[in-house]
């Protein structure tokens, strides 16, 4: 009997019976639920130990998650060593973080890419609860940089803007990925 790295044979059989639209809805619901858990853990740590400690824990978790996701996606899609920027962006768009960001723009060329989040549900939720903007630059920069570096150590990741930076109203954060000039 074949081994399945993700779920049992019975689970796969059950999922094949779900219409594609509902299966995609279920996938996005599960990704959203992961982010809900992340947010609830963060808020609990923040309440008990402060924003700085919660941010420190969050940054470490997401930096580790970046390497796990990068390697898993690289294996899953048969991507070789040291992929180029467009390939890294293709894999990044398949991460739980990017899939949970429906309000994004991605501009990709052969040597450079810019990913921008135009609406951030996490920030909007915090603001609606009166918590203020979360200074997420440290967490997100560590995640994105480690994701890219795990795939190709030569890729440079630069933060163009991210809280606590002042940002335009229509962009929460923006990130540049590029290969260094020779």
- Could you list the beta-strand ranges (E) of 82-172: 104-108, 112-117, 156-161
Beta-sheet pairing, 156-161 with 112-117 = unpaired
Q: Give Cα 45 to chain centroid, integer Å.
A: 21
Fold of 9-178: Muramoyl-pentapeptide Carboxypeptidase; domain 2 (3.30.1380)
- Could you list the beta-strand ranges (E) of 59-143: 104-108, 112-117
What distance in Å separates the CA atoms of residue 177 and residue 48, rounded to the nearest whole number?
Answer: 36
Question: Tokens 């040597």 map to which residue?
Answer: 111
Max CA pair span of the chain: 56
What distance in Å separates the CA atoms of residue 74 and residue 71, rounded to the nearest whole number?
Answer: 5
Q: Which long-range contacts (CB under 8 A, 24 or more apart) does 169-172 make?
A: 170/118, 171/116, 171/117, 171/118, 172/117, 172/118, 172/119, 172/120, 172/123
DSSP 3: -
Helix axes 137-151, 85-92, angle to 10 degrees: 120
pLDDT at site 4: 65
pLDDT at site 50: 94
What distance in Å separates the CA atoms of residue 140 and residue 24, rounded to the nearest whole number?
Answer: 26
Tens digits of pLDDT across the chain (182 residues): 566 666 778 888 888 899 999 999 999 999 999 989 998 999 999 999 999 999 999 999 999 999 999 999 999 999 999 999 999 999 999 999 999 988 999 999 989 999 999 999 889 988 999 988 989 999 999 999 999 999 999 999 999 999 999 999 899 999 999 998 87
Domain extents in the chain? 9-178
What distance in Å separates the CA atoms of residue 17 and residue 115, rounded to the nearest whole number?
Answer: 35
- Could you list the beta-strand ranges (E) of the chain: 104-108, 112-117, 156-161, 173-178
Neighbours of 175 (CB within 10 A): 21
pLDDT at site 89: 97
Task: Report helix, strand and coil shares of the chain as percent, to nearest 5.
Answer: 55, 15, 35
């Amino acid at each position: 009997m074949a081994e399945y790295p993700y779920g049992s044979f019975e689970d796969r059989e059950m999922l094949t019976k779900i219409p594609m639209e509902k299966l995609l809805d279920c996938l996005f619901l599960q990704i959203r639920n992961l982010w809900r858990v992340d947010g609830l853990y963060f808020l609990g740590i923040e309440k008990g130990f402060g924003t700085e400690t919660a941010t420190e824990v969050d940054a470490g978790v997401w930096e580790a998650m970046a390497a796990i996701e990068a390697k898993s996606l690289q294996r899953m899609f048969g991507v070789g060593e040291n992929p180029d920027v467009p390939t890294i962006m293709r894999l990044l768009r398949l991460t739980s973080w990017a899939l949970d960001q429906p309000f994004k723009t991605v501009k990709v060329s052969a040597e450079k890419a810019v990913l921008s989040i135009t609406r951030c549900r996490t920030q909007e939720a915090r603001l609606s609860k009166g918590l203020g903007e979360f200074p997420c630059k440290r967490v997100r920069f560590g995640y994105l940089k480690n994701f890219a570096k795990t795939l190709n150590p030569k890729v440079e990741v630069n933060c163009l803007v991210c809280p606590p930076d002042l940002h335009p109203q229509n962009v929460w954060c923006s990130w540049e990925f590029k290969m260094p000039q020779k």
